């Protein structure tokens, strides 16, 4: 049997320790990258969910006459412009906030009242009496009240209270409205002065 020279004893141990340190550094780096990727994916998912919620609430606001008739209370609860969104698809919502499976508040959505960008008198020869709103305008004209074509925009914001992800959807629309609903949208909230 060959004997190991004294000046080489422990070299293998030293090399093994270097490889062990390198493997540990690689494992820690991999774990850090994996954790960062998971956080990025989670944030993207939360952002996507808030965008879907904002779009859903915005579409709901557009599908009702409340946006024109009572712009301060567009959404479901009748007192504020906030709404619950059932993100679990289990048909249970609580006003103002959506809840996840653990009961923790997740997404809150709100609608900013519409902002008038233009209003012009409707000409009587442009009315289509087969459309109920145009018929109401024609009847208003009989008592010397003009209808208005009102162009407005509004924004819907949804915020995830867990991740603080937030999305805003801005939409615009044009409606034909009688004087009172047109004034609901086209006035200066501070002074009450009409824009038309």
- Distance, C-alpha 132 to centroid of its chain: 32
Determine the pLDDT at residue 23. 95
- Give the tens place of pLDDT for each residue, 137-163: 778 767 777 788 888 888 888 888 778
Q: Which stretches of the chain are DSSP H helices?
A: 11-62, 66-69, 132-142, 179-185
In a domain, residue 11? The reply is no
In a domain, residue 196? The reply is no
In a domain, residue 22? The reply is no
Distances (CA, A) of 95 to 54, 61, 78, 151, 171: 15, 15, 10, 30, 23
Task: Give bridge partners of residue 99 from the DSSP assignment.
Answer: 105
In a domain, residue 29? The reply is no
Q: State the DSSP H helix or E strand holding residue 196, giving kind and residue range, or none if neither.
A: none
Distances (CA, A) of 16 to 4, 10, 23, 24, 98: 18, 10, 10, 12, 55
In a domain, residue 41? The reply is no
| Mean pLDDT of the region 21-43 | 90
Q: For residue 77, is pLDDT > 60?
A: no
Contact between residue 137 and residue 176 where contact means Cβ atoms under 8 Å apart: yes
Q: Is the dihedral of CA 176, 182, 187, 193 positive or negative?
A: positive
Task: Kindly report the pTM of this predicted structure.
Answer: 0.63
Q: Binning pLDDT at 50, 70 and 90, where does residue 61 land? A: confident
The residue range of the domain holding 82 is: 46-185
In a domain, residue 6? The reply is no
Length of the chain: 196
Residue that wins the pLDDT comparison between 5 and 180: 180
In a domain, residue 19? The reply is no
- Give the tens place of pLDDT for each residue, 183-196: 777 776 666 666 65
Determine the pLDDT at residue 97. 47
Domain count, the chain: 1
In a domain, residue 18? The reply is no
């Amino acid at each position: 049997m060959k004997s190991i020279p004294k000046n080489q004893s422990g070299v293998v141990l030293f090399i093994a320790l270097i490889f062990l340190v390198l493997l540990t550094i690689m494992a820690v780096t991999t774990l850090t990258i994996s954790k960062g990727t998971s956080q990025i994916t989670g944030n993207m998912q939360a952002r996507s969910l808030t965008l879907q919620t904002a779009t859903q609430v915005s579409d709901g606001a557009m599908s009702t006459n409340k946006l024109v008739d009572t712009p301060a209370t567009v959404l479901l609860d009748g007192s504020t412009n906030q709404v619950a969104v059932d993100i679990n698809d289990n048909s249970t919502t609580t006003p103002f906030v959506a809840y996840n499976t653990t009961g923790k508040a997740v997404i809150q959505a709100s609608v900013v009242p519409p902002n008038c960008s233009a209003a012009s008198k409707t000409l009587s020869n442009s009315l289509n009496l087969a459309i109920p709103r145009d018929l109401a305008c024609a009847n208003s004209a009989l008592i010397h009240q003009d209808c208005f074509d009102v162009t407005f925009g509004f924004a819907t914001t949804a915020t995830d209270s867990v991740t603080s992800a937030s999305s805003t959807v801005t939409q615009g629309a044009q409606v034909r409205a009688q004087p009172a609903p047109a004034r609901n949208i086209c006035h200066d909230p501070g002074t009450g002065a009409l824009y038309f």
